[in-house]
Structure 1
Amino acid sequence: MSSEEQSETGTGWPQPAPPGRPEGPGGQPDPRPDAPDPDELSPLAPREEPDRDGAGAEPAEDVTVGLPGDRPAWVGSVRSRLSTASVMIAALLALLGFTLVVQLKTTSTDPTAGATRQEDLVRILSDLDARENRLRQDISGLEDSQRQLRSGEQGRQAALDEATRRADELGILAGTLPATGPGLTVRFEAGAKTISASRVLDAVQELRGAGAEAMQISGGDRATARIIASTYFLDGENGSLVVDGRRLTAPYTITVIGDPATMRTALNIPGGVVASVQGDGGNVIVEDREAAEVSALHAPIKLEHARPVS
């Protein structure tokens, strides 16, 4: 062995040649199909370790690592579906919340009725019962009149009596006839503030709602005006009141015919006329009358275009 070969190995001995593929005759590679690959025969080639069962390990799957900017197409589709579903869920929740709020407001109790005293509630119930009884009496009277009008010979006289009674009622309502009967006198006394026309109008409306049949108002100067459906109220000079063009001075007194208990309850209801006037520093004096007299008359309206039909 030459010295050059010894120096290349570093040990003084020649370096062994790597194993090669067995060659066939004439130095050609081994033509056998099952001939081992020379790389597999190398001692440095990695070997597959057998499993516990003795079988060889399965080859690793081919994992492709994409770049950060490369996103699959299905990612955008999933995000679009999620955003649409979120919007629909939010809209349904908002609609449900709105429905609940409306339901709570609808079923909630009236705070005014909740703050009303038991005595006031009893009065209101009594007022409603009185109205019901009055309406039942009216129905009964109308049914009796109907039977009399259909009774043959007495029909003509019954019709005449009914027409006369109806004319009297309409005359009282229109203010062309005087009236008398049980009722109230309501006196308004001003305090720090004058009695406004709106307060008097509120009293008239509450009395009408309680079944008042005839009313008149008088002032401190004894001027009197009949109150009918077309009567208007205005604030005059120096705290006066104008009723249908007639000027009245304070204090004002309303004389009304109707059920006294029912009308008194309507005036004294919480937040009503009496409470409003007292809140302004004034006072309202309500007195019962067994025979209240409404004597002021309203001039009948001349009909220019309408005429009765025979």
Structure 2
Amino acid sequence: MSEAEPDERETAAAREPGERAPVTPRGRRLAGRLVIGVLCAVLGFAATAEVRSNDRSTKFATARQDELVGILGDLSQRSERLRGDIRDLENTKAGLERDTQGQTAVEDARRRAATYGMLAGTLPAAGPGIRLTIDDPRGRLRAEDLLDTLEELRDAGAEVIQADDVRVGVSTYFADAASGGVVADGRLLTRPYVFLVIGDPHTLATALGIPGGVLQTLRNLGARGAVAQEQRIVIRAVRSP
């Protein structure tokens, strides 16, 4: 025991009740140590906070169990919200795909209707093809001659045909008129006969001009046929449905 201790006890015994004890050298040393400890604790806390903010793995490693449970619960809630967003996006995508398929089906139906309408003769048509002009100055051509011409055009790949002002269909017929000339579907055709044909121009022209073909047959009958290839043939005549 140091020599200062008896003096401190004697001073305390001599002190009257309610009187504040004077600060001793030992008290000063204890106070200094306490302040240093507090400062060390504050600096340690600040250093720990800085390290945790810069290193998440350290944060999780040093977190308490209740803190980890809270973090896990928050991640679970976020994951569930993301799953809900994914489901909503997938439903939206499926709806758009169904709508796209429906629109595609509608567009396909419209294209088919237009194609069938042109083939049936109920709709106007336009496209590349030929203009076949048949000049028959002596009137020697008969219905069968024009029918053969029509069949040759169909065999050559003609898609749409108009004979004068008559739209040719599957039920079109040619007949000799009693007063002369040729009738198509009950309408008298005028000379020169003009066939507007939509199809591949080169193929159609080649088929008509082969030896023994339509052009040679027309010459043998005293008529003359002229073929003009065109990039756009417009057929406006239509048939009643």
Length-normalised TM-score, structure 2: 0.57
1:246 maps onto 2:177 in alignment: no
Aligned to 1:104: none
Q: Higher relative contact order by CA 8 Å / sep ≥ 6: 1 or 2?
A: 2
Q: Does the 8 A contact of 1:199 with 1:273 survive in 2?
A: no
1:51-94 per-residue CA deviation (whole Å, 9 max, x = no partner) reads xxxxxxxxxxxxxxxxxxxxxxxxxxxxxxxxxxxxxxxxxxxx
> Which consecutive unaligned segments of at least 5 residues does structure 2 have?
1-96
Answering whether residue 194 of structure 2 is matched by residue 268 of structure 1, we say no
Q: Which residue in the other structure is 1:178 paired with?
A: 124
Q: Cα 1:190–1:238, aligned 2, differ >3 Å: closer, same or farther?
A: farther
1:92-119 deviations in Å (ceiling 9; x for gaps)? xxxxxxxxxxxxxxxxxxxxxxxxxxxx
How many residue pairs get aligned? The number is 145
Contact 1:194 1:239 in 2 (8 A): no
Q: Does 1:217 align with 2:163?
A: yes
* Closer/same/farther in 2, CA of residues 192 and 246 from structure 1, 3 Å limit: closer
Looking at structure 2, the residues matched to 160 and 274 of structure 1 have their Cα atoms a distance apart, in angstroms, of 44
The equivalent residue for 1:280 is 221
The aligned residue for residue 171 of structure 2 is: 230
Q: Percent identity?
A: 42
What is the CA distance between 1:193 and its match in structure 2? 5.3
Aligned-partner SS, 2:111: helix
Quote the Cα distance in structure 2 between the aligned partners of 1:239 and 1:277. Answer: 18
Alignment of 1:44-193 (within 5 A): 154-192=100-138
Contact 2:128 2:230 in 1 (8 A): yes
Q: How far apart, in 2, do the equivalents of 1:288 and 1:278 lie? A: 20
1:153 deviates by 5.2
TM-score of the two chains, using structure 1 as the length reference: 0.45
| Cα 1:275/1:250, change in 2 over 3 Å | same
Aligned counterparts of 2:208 and 2:177: Cα–Cα separation in 1: 24
| 1:146-186 deviation line (CA, Å, top 9, x unaligned) | xxxxx865321111111100000000011110011111110
1:103 maps to none
Moved over 6 A (4+): none
Q: Distance in 2 between matches of 1:237 and 1:189?
A: 20
- Report the Cα distance in structure 2 between the residues aligned to 1:202 and 1:233, rounded to whole angstroms: 10
Aligned pair in 2 of structure 1 residues 244, 185: CA closer, same or farther (>3 Å)? same
Query: How well do the aligned residues superpose, as a CA RMSD in angstroms?
Result: 1.6
Q: 2-side partners of 1:193 and 1:249: how far apart?
A: 11
Amino acid across the alignment from 1:273: V
